[in-house]
């Protein structure tokens, strides 16, 4: 069997300030060590429970966060950005997916680093009228490939709002509880590692016993994006496939989740590039 792990940073334990999240951040190296330790703990336990191959998609920011010094022989890592289908690049051909370090969608109260894909450009993303987090976006895209998400580990509010509600078969580990956007509470690493190992073992058993299933949505996929400002919507509607709804909202219809994801990724990248261009005008 082959497992896929998508790794984000904002939902990791102890990561609490912007300096944890940026390549030049004062606490970035600490964040890298935390994410690497969590990822390798999950990968090792998956391997111990029947998954001969593990693909890890490094999926935060520039996507070069995981330290690569001590990767086991059975693990393959995907790094760098941009890349097709972003946070789930490399999923095709895998049997089960695990999402770790995930966080709640933009606008979630008392939730560390709440955002949806691009905190500076995207206010809201809807798939067939359902507002989605990165967890749901990636779970739906995995579902298109018939791959279930068997375990999710991350921030408490995401697990409560999205994972338990939409994928109740997914085993969960809460890595942090948020006191505010920039304050969190987490257990010791030894306790977290123990919880992860126990939960991976249970998730693997559930999968092998047929107790998990892919999360799917109807096709074609109607996608709506609420941008942070009207200029981003101005740029999006330059594409003929994009319909402008109002000042901040655009929509399009894709034949499947893979196509919907790629178009969304392109629009988010375009908005980020526009941000960089605007910075040069000031």
Q: CATH number of the domain at 273, please.
A: 3.30.1360
Residues 192 and 227 in one domain: no
Per-residue pLDDT of the chain (282 residues; tens, 9 = 90+): 999 999 999 999 999 999 999 999 999 999 999 999 999 999 999 999 999 999 999 999 999 999 999 899 999 999 999 999 999 999 999 999 999 999 999 999 999 999 999 999 999 999 999 999 999 999 999 999 999 999 999 999 999 999 999 999 999 999 999 999 999 999 999 999 999 999 999 999 999 999 999 999 999 999 999 999 999 999 999 999 999 999 999 999 999 999 999 999 999 999 999 998 888 897
Of 177, 208, 239, which residue sits at a domain end?
208
- Report if residue 216 sits inside a domain: no
Residues 157 and 75 in one domain: yes
Residues 250 and 258: their CA atoms lie apart, in Å, by 19
Residue 118 pLDDT = 96
- Report if residue 213 sits inside a domain: no
Residues 147 and 238 in one domain: no
Q: What is the DSSP string of the chain?
A: -EEEEEE-STTSTT--SGGGTSTT-TTHHHHHHHHHHHHHHHHHHHHHTT--EEEEEE-STTS--S--TT--TTEEEE--SS-TTGGGTT-TT-SEEEEEEE-PPTT-TT-TT--SS-TTTEEEEEETTEE--HHHHHHHHHHHTT--EEEEEEEHHHIIIIIHHH-TTSEEEEEEEEEETTEEE---HHHHHHHHHHHHHHHHHHHHTT--------SSEEEEEEESSHHHHHHHTTSTT-EE-SSSEEEEEESSHHHHHHHHHHHHHHHHHHHHHHHHH-
- Report if residue 196 sits inside a domain: yes
- Report if residue 123 sits inside a domain: no
Residues 177 and 111 in one domain: yes
Q: Looking at the 3D structure of the chain, how many domains does it have? A: 2
Residues 153 and 248 in one domain: no
Of 208, 239, 273, which residue sits at a domain end?
208
Considering only CA atoms, which of 157, 133, 176, 163 is closest in space to residue 16? 176
Residues 177 and 52 in one domain: yes
Q: How far is CA 123 from CA 6, 205, 223, 279, in A?
A: 22, 38, 14, 20
Residue 235 pLDDT = 95
- Report if residue 127 sits inside a domain: no
Residue 279 pLDDT = 87
Residues 181 and 277 in one domain: no
Of 159, 185, 208, which residue sits at a domain end?
208
Residues 51 and 142 in one domain: yes
Residues 150 and 253 in one domain: no
- Report if residue 128 sits inside a domain: no
- Report if residue 239 sits inside a domain: yes
- Report if residue 79 sits inside a domain: yes
Residues 20 and 50 in one domain: yes
Residue 282 pLDDT = 79
Output the domain CATH number for residue 84.
Answer: 3.40.50.10780
Range of the domain at 275: 221-281
Residues 191 and 258 in one domain: no
């Amino acid at each position: 069997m082959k497992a896929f792990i998508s790794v984000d940073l904002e939902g990791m334990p102890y990561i609490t300030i912007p300096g944890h999240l940026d390549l030049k951040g004062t606490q970035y190296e600490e964040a890298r060590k935390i994410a690497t330790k969590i990822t390798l703990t999950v990968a090792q336990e998956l391997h111990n429970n029947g998954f001969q191959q593990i693909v890890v998609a490094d999926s935060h920011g520039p996507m070069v966060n995981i330290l690569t010094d001590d990767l086991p022989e059975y693990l393959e890592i995907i790094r760098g950005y941009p890349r097709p289908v972003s946070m789930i690049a490399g999923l095709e051909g895998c049997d089960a997916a695990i999402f770790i370090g995930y966080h709640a969608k933009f606008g979630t109260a008392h939730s560390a680093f709440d955002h949806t894909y691009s905190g500076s450009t995207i206010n809201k993303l809807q798939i067939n009228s359902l507002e989605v987090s990165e967890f749901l976006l990636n779970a739906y895209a995995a579902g298109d490939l018939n791959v279930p998400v068997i375990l999710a580990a991350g921030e408490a509010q995401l697990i409560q709002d999205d994972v338990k509600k939409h994928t109740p078969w997914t085993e969960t580990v809460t890595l942090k509880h948020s006191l505010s956007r920039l304050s969190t509470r987490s257990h010791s690493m030894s306790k977290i590692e123990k919880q992860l190992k126990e939960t991976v073992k249970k998730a693997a058993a559930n999968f092998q016993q047929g107790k998990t299933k892919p999360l799917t949505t109807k096709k074609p996929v109607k996608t709506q994006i609420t941008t942070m400002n009207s200029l981003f919507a101005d740029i999006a509607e330059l594409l003929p496939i994009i319909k402008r709804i109002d000042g901040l909202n655009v929509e399009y219809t894709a034949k499947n989740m893979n196509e919907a994801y790629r178009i969304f990724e392109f629009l988010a990248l375009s908005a980020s590039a526009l941000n960089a261009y605007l910075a040069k005008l000031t």
